[in-house]
Amino acid sequence: MTTEELIDLRTCIMEGRNQDALAIIDELDAMSKKDTLFKIDSYLTVMLIHLIKNQVEGRLTNSWAVSIRASIRKIQVLNLRPNKTSYYIKENEWDEMLENAIELAIDNASVEVENGVYSPFQLDEMVDKNSVITTAKSF
């Protein structure tokens, strides 16, 4: 939320332009939701990168495990709406989120898996995406 938007909102309220004020509030709400979804997607990608490295390298370092747990906690906190009774991403929407995030995760993981010896295309062929997504969903 910018100062300009707050000034516009205040002006609309003071002038009795309720419809304009509600439109600004709706816009601010949409911006807030978009920002929250972007943050969730970022943490989801980090988690998937570590799960991909775990699958391909057949090992799980302590730092990867810590990063996975931290990402899960951040996702849980961010996904819970301020009313504490509903979520930004509903249970039936996670599949789509994971499908979208795994492509970026594979691309990013290619520089980390086995010290970057695989291109994103090679890594894409090596990764069992369904297995990684199933593991992520279980968390």
Can you give the residue ranges of every domain in the chain? 35-138
Sequential DSSP letters for 49-114? HHHHHHHHHS---HHHHHHHHHHHHHHHHHHB-TTSS-BSS-GGGHHHHHHHHHHHHHHHHTTTGG
Q: State the average pLDDT over residues 27-52.
A: 94
pTM here? 0.85
Predicted pLDDT of residue 97: 94
Confidence at 1, pLDDT banded by 50, 70, 90: low
Q: At residue 119, does pLDDT exceed 70? A: yes
How much of the chain exceeds pLDDT 90, in percent?
75
Distance, in Å, from the CA atom of 51 to the CA atom of 98, rounded to the nearest integer, reads: 12
Q: State the average pLDDT over residues 36-47.
A: 96
At 55-94, the pLDDT tens digits run 999 999 999 999 999 999 999 999 998 888 899 999 899 9
Q: At residue 9, does pLDDT exceed 90? A: no
* Six-digit token string for 37: 């979804």
Predicted pLDDT of residue 6: 84
Q: At residue 106, does pLDDT exceed 90? A: yes
Predicted pLDDT of residue 74: 97
